[in-house]
Structure 1
């Protein structure tokens, strides 16, 4: 677990201020402020369509905010050239909701592709060692020669995480990591997210609408409603002290139904 040091004394690896994003008349983010601290797993919780995925797509430059600023590892993303932004992106791993594996490549080839594209001068032995270590870390050491079509949904998620980790990112972004998975596999993926933080010393933002995922993986939660964060804090604190009844109703629906 991260240090118990007061959060304001901890290093901020992501700092969002006044973030706004609209699509025509659909105002998705309406002045968002949020910090991610070093060594922390932060869960962004909200219903489908609330803007959670938009938030992290802005972080990695897949979308551009209308207003506001984002600092990642001390760099303001708005002031970066394309070359500087691409360099920063290598430090931010994005685990896509649907894994986004290349269907025509084996598992090993999927992992090797970003490594050889971004890191020059590696020997075959070094590449093989890196791939073997990551497949072991995600619990699929025998899967190197399999095709994505031969994998279950949970296995694809694990390989997606392994491919994201291959470049040693400092920050991990998980987009709906348990979506579409059976309950047992959800538990395995939740545990993997916690394990990744411990083993690879990452700071993470976990985007989810799954309260079990939020409770298992998150040190803090930020609840996104109406384009703003209505509650930020530890899981129990958010749901016991929330002034917005919709937050309590969300908890009741998921845990007391």
Structure 2
């Protein structure tokens, strides 16, 4: 394994020389990134460029080929199974598909991570936590419904609520507006900002939606050919004359 570079002590997420391949497909080819406390960073790139692979490595769902990922002062790859369970309570992962259990009601979906990860909670404690999580995403009325009864936007919100119920310090969003209409996408973008304000979470937002990136992020990291070629504010990144960046911008029709 390559020796990682020095991490930034002021970062809650510090990634150095991260590499990941799948056979002959070299997805990540030396990623470096630091994310500060309370910062929202949007990771942009075309489909198949490794955006989702990156956050799966951050949360320990995939192992890198080389490099290092230090999150909240811990080297993710070195965590034991027990340490990983504790770590994942601090790092919330909002899946692109929402990943709700179809056979469970919304109440049961939100109860599941609480009962699994937090011991000695009373029934009243669980009920209070579920009700607050649903209220935070504006869907208290869905508590006894099934996922199949909800719209795509509502399922996204419930997925975020289920992540928030453990009060994570970091939020990882995988394509939060994918498959949604423009109005619902705006609602999800607003929710991402509200989450940051409410719990001071640090967030990485994986997206190819420039409206999402522009409205939710402090900085943008553009993933091109396996590396972050451009990192900065939205306006700075898209002021770059690089044709690869311009093509991405033009495709999204953002004014």
Instruction: Give me the TM-score of the superposition, normalised by structure 2.
Output: 0.95
Distance in 2 (CA, whole Å) between partners of 1:222 and 1:10 is 20
Residue 114 of structure 2 corresponds to 115
Instruction: Name the count of aligned residue pairs.
Output: 249
* 1:154–1:181 CA contact under 8 A, matched in 2: yes
Deviation at 1:255, TM superposition (A): 2.2
Tell me if the contact between 2:211 and 2:254 (Cα under 8 Å) persists in the aligned partners. no
Q: Name 1:255's counterpart in structure 2.
A: 253
Secondary structure of the equivalent of 1:21?
Answer: strand
Secondary structure of the structure 2 residue equivalent to 1:251: helix
Partner residue, 2:4: none
Distance 1:122 1:251, change over 3 A: same
Match of 1:133 in 2: 132
Give unmatched runs, 5+ long, in structure 2: 1-7
Matched, 1:187 2:186: yes
Work out the CA distance in 2 between the residues paired with 1:246 and 1:181.
26
Deviations 1:165-213 (A, max 9, x none): 1111100000000000011100000000000000111100000000000
CA 1:123 to 1:178, structure 2 compared with 1: closer, same or farther past 3 Å?
A: same
Q: Please give the root-mean-square deviation of Cα atoms over the aligned residues, in Å.
A: 1.5
**1:176-255 equivalence runs, <5 A:** 176-240=175-239, 242-255=240-253
Q: Describe the superposition over 1:66-106 as per-residue Cα deviations: whole angstroms up to 9, x where unpaired.
A: 00000000011122212112211111000000100000100
- Offset of residue 10 of structure 1: 8.5
Tell me, in whole angstroms, the C-alpha distance in 1 between the residues paired with 2:156 and 2:10: 29
Runs of 4+ off more than 2 Å = none
Aligned 8 A contact 1:230 1:244 in 2? no
